[in-house]
Amino acid sequence: MEIPPHTRLVALLGDPVSHSLSPRMHAAAFRERGLRWAYVAFRVRPEDLGAAVAGLRALGFAGANVTLPHKVAVCQLADELDGSAARCGAANTLVFSEGRVLAFNTDVAGVRRALDEEGVAARGLRVAVLGAGGAARAACVALGEAGAGLVTVVARRTPAGQALCDRMREEFPETRFEARPFEDAALREVLREADMVVNATPVGMHPREDESPVREGAWLRQGQVVFDMVYNPPETRLVRLAQQAGARTVGGLSMLVHQGAASFELWTGSPAPIDAMKRAVGLLPAGV
């Protein structure tokens, strides 16, 4: 990739990153705004994260996105956390400013705006959140801010799920947070009672598109909202199972665009060209 002189750079740090649509999306946004910026993706192992962040800062990068598995660990490398990152204990966006590393969580806004765009109001709902990592933390904060009635975190790592719920109870005392193990019997029970299901795990992500965190469509039901935060492929196996069960579905592409738009605005100080970003990832047809 040849980068013209005097180009401002932002990066994506994750493992893996080959599936990411963010480089394409941000390239379209920079073109639309006439900015000489470039977005590059780097595969970074967990043990190399500190060196990678220090390297970007030393090289004069404007900022970075951070994806799995680094969203929690990167908070320890920041000089300052914004409110959402502090609430989550996870960050997905870095801004390098005057030698300092500022960390933000735009996933929270991404979840909220994706649900708003589909006309889904979480206030008072019973929500099952699958997973306990960085994406799950953002989902829980967004749901707490929206006034969800009950959020049940279903996680394979039971201590992580319990720790997340303990953290969220302190942040949002008016919302009930409960942790359950990611076992078939518990999962079926939680899903049967849930008004909304949020998949905040990478299960079903390319190249393992045949997988789903919910093995049976019968575990879902008509009238539910099923929000899969996985965006590649755009229609996951979980989304297909939910549609077959009569549930209303929200895909991960909308969240990708909206969290990316918030990151774009933090880096550039310019309004994000939402439609151009949607066209770049296939949410809008070309020419619209």
pLDDT at residue 5, as a whole number? 78
Contact 112, 91 (CB under 8 A): no
Please report the pLDDT score of residue 78 as a whole number: 98
Show the tokens assigned to 214.
């919910």
Buried b / exposed e along 107-133 (16+ C-beta atoms within 10 A): bbbbbbbbbeeeebebeebebbbbbbb
Cα separation, 209 vs 236, whole angstroms:
7
Q: Which helix (H) or strand (E) holds 100?
A: strand 100-104
Per-residue pLDDT, 44: 98
User: What is the amino acid identity at position 27?
Assistant: A
Catalytic residues: 71
Q: For the chain, give every domain's residue range.
A: 8-105+254-281, 108-250
Residue 173's CB is within 10 A of a number of other CB atoms, namely 10
| pLDDT for position 1 | 63
pLDDT for the residue 196 = 98
| Matching CATH number, 108-250, of 1.10.760.10, 3.20.20.80, 3.40.50.720, 3.40.80.10 | 3.40.50.720
Asked whether the beta carbons of 255 and 231 are under 8 A apart, the reply is yes
Predicted confidence at residue 33, as pLDDT, reads 98
CB 225 within 8 A of CB 146: no
Average pLDDT per run of 10 along the chain, which is 288 residues long? 84 96 98 98 98 97 97 98 97 97 98 97 98 97 98 96 98 98 94 97 94 91 96 96 96 97 98 98 86
Which CATH architecture group holds 8-105+254-281? Answer: 3-Layer(aba) Sandwich (3.40)
Question: How high is the pLDDT of residue 286?
Answer: 83
